[in-house]
Amino acid sequence: MRIVETMQKADWPTIISRVVGVALLFAGVLLAAGLCTATPQDNSVPSIFDSHSTPADSIRHLSFFVLGVTGLIFLVVFSLLSYVVVKFRSRAADTVREPAQVYGSTQIELAWTIIPVLIVVVLFLATARVIHAIQDAPKPAEAVEVTAIGHQFWWEFRYPGLGVVTANELHVPVSDSSHPTPTFLRLLSADTDHSFWIPQLAGKTDLIPNRVNETWLDPHETGLFLGQCAQYCGTQHAKMLLRVYADGPEDFKVWIRGQQHPANQDEREAAGRRVFETTACLNCHAVGGTNGTGRFGPDLTHLMSRHTLASGAAENTPENLRLWIENPDAIKPGSLMPAMKLSDADLDALVRYLETLR
């Protein structure tokens, strides 16, 4: 009798409030999906649904398939639940009658066992196919090879066959059907766990100390693609950013030739060079043609050819460069870059010298 009395207390306001709650949840899901699929002009956050590379295309297609299947499941369950809530709600005439009870239905048991198993198998096979296609892709002879090393808190990119070393900004050639030139990356970590992720070009690939993982990119159009470390790596993890520039074939060759040039030797800034060579700068940084061969920090040979400082935390301007040397915590608190404690004259001379490194 207590169960019957409880059922009688159910009323339309309660039913409506629950339905409205579920509807709002559904609307939130649709809003999130709309933001994910927005164009770059509408949404500045890189999205996996705005793909510009073969690996990213495969991931996007798989994501739409999985979202379609799970969305269909949600609609079926939501519709059945709404129907049951309305159809079998408690009525005044039901005070002496108990709903029909179903015990041991073989058909129901088979249905809610076999159907979910089939859905899981289909999703597993679809995912495994995409993983195999990306991870076991053949490497053509004309592919560009890059070694990416994750440090706290910056990225280092080495082009082994080209003698180019850069930081935080990766340049790759555009690949098309007539001239496929994918970029294959060997990913290593110098200290802690990292995760290399450019949403519009490829999926996440972890960087683990004492292990080499691989991924590849083949952008279909020129442009700038933003990425970041997707694995917590320390207090400034959120500012461990990276920029990938997809260049046309000729532009990529021009960039490579420019990076292969030795450091600019401007005798007018000899004073700033002396500051670099006689302070702790050279213990961490390298500049071609000087006695600076450090590897704890980024190579500065072509520093001013980069658009950002501190792994994307600040725009590469003389003002920010001076602040970065004088007080790194003002830009990136907790970074491993020490404050140099230089006099104003030495600091100005050093900044002028670094500005010549293009």
Rounded to whole angstroms, the Cα distance separating 263 from 294 reads 15
229: which strand partners? 196
Same domain, 255 and 286: no
What pLDDT does 330 receive? Answer: 92
In a domain, 7, yes or no: no
Same domain, 189 and 174: yes
**Domain end among 110, 135, 160:** 135
In a domain, 184, yes or no: yes
What pLDDT does 212 receive? Answer: 95
CA distances from 316 to 10, 297, 313 (A): 64, 16, 9
**Domain end among 260, 285, 306:** 260
**Domain end among 260, 292, 308:** 260
What pLDDT does 326 receive? Answer: 93
Is residue 67 within 8 A of residue 33, CB to CB? The reply is yes
Same domain, 202 and 163: yes
Taking the model in full, what pTM does it have?
0.82
CATH number of the domain within which 112 lies: 1.10.287.90
What pLDDT does 197 receive? Answer: 95
What pLDDT does 340 receive? Answer: 85
Same domain, 183 and 103: no
Rounded to whole angstroms, the Cα distance separating 248 from 256 reads 12
Q: What is the chain's pLDDT, residue by residue, as a tens digit (358 residues)?
A: 444 454 455 566 766 777 777 777 777 777 766 665 555 444 467 888 999 999 999 999 999 999 999 999 999 999 999 998 888 777 777 677 777 777 888 888 899 899 999 999 999 999 999 999 999 999 998 999 999 999 988 999 999 989 999 999 999 999 877 778 999 999 999 988 999 999 999 999 999 999 999 999 999 999 999 999 999 988 889 899 999 999 999 999 999 999 999 888 888 999 999 999 999 888 899 998 888 888 889 999 999 999 999 999 999 999 999 999 999 999 998 888 888 889 999 999 999 999 999 8
Give the pLDDT confidence of 141-168 residue by residue, as tens digits. 899 999 999 998 899 999 998 999 999 9
User: 97: domain range?
Assistant: 12-135
Parallel, antiparallel, or unpaired: how do β-strands 205-207 and 169-173 relate? unpaired
- DSSP string for residues in 263-325: PP--GGGHHHHHHHHHSTHHHH-B-TTSS-B--SS---TTGGGSSEETTTTEE--HHHHHHHH
Q: Is 194 helix (H, G, I), strand (E, B) or coil?
A: strand
Same domain, 222 and 301: no
Same domain, 202 and 168: yes
- Structurally, the chain folds into a number of domains equal to 3
